[in-house]
Amino acid sequence: MLKDAGLILMVLAGVGLGFSGSCRLTQRLEALNMCMQMTVYLKGEIRYGRLSLKEAFADGANKLSGEYRGFFLAVSRELAQNTEKTFAQIFAECGEQYLGRLELTREEQEEFLILGSRLGYLDVEMQCRQLELYESNLIQHIQEVRAQIPAKKKVYQSLGLLGGLLAAVLVW
């Protein structure tokens, strides 16, 4: 009886791991979409509002929620304090603090941090072009992830189930 319960728990654990991997793919797509929204907000605030980066981040925070809002507010606060840090350093520190737990690949995180190093010292037009360049890269990543999600979800779920069954058979 106890052995049967253990075997069932092993299969369920495998299924849970498979669904966990599947959920991480969905979270990655959501994180990429939020990065796109942040980019659009920043570009609008800078181009049409003619705001400084400090003001653009402060105003953009009102349109976001969760860690994204926290990131925008932290960048705005750091810029307002006039520390000796460069904008790239502030952007990177706040990005790692607030957005480091997102389900982004290392490449996507690096692209995001590179964006911070390209903003802050250019004129309005160049900042908008940098944001547009990042936006076009994000569009490519989003399209790739959307195309991969159905197949990868099935693989994760199937491997989770099969892994759980295999573990149960080996223990049995």
| CA neighbours closer than 13 Å in the CB half-sphere of residue 155 | 6
Q: Model pTM?
A: 0.83
Three-state secondary structure call for residue 28:
helix
Least confident of 5-9, 16-20, 90-94, 152-156: 5-9
Q: Cα–Cα distance between 152 and 10 in angstroms, integer?
A: 22
CA dihedral angle for residue 56, residue 54, residue 68, residue 108, rounded to 10 degrees:
90
Rounded to whole angstroms, how far apart are CA atoms 155 and 25? 12
Mean pLDDT for 66-90 is: 87
Residue 34 pLDDT class (50, 70, 90 cuts):
very high
- The pLDDT, as a whole number, for residue 151 is 92
Mean pLDDT over all residues of the chain? 88
The per-residue b/e assignment along 21-41, b for 16 or more CB within 10 angstroms, e otherwise, is bbeebeebbebbebbbebbeb
Write out the two tokens for 48.
């049409």
Residue 145: pLDDT band with limits 50, 70, 90? very high
Distances (CA, A) of 26 to 20, 48, 84, 86, 146: 10, 33, 39, 34, 9
**What does the pLDDT average to over 36-44?**
91
Q: CB neighbours (10 Å) of residue 95?
A: 19
Q: What is the pLDDT of residue 168?
A: 80
C-alpha closest to that of 61 among 70, 48, 50, 52: 70
Check residue 144 and give its pLDDT.
Answer: 93
Q: How confident is the model at residue 13 (pLDDT cuts 50, 70, 90)?
A: confident
pLDDT of 36 reads 93
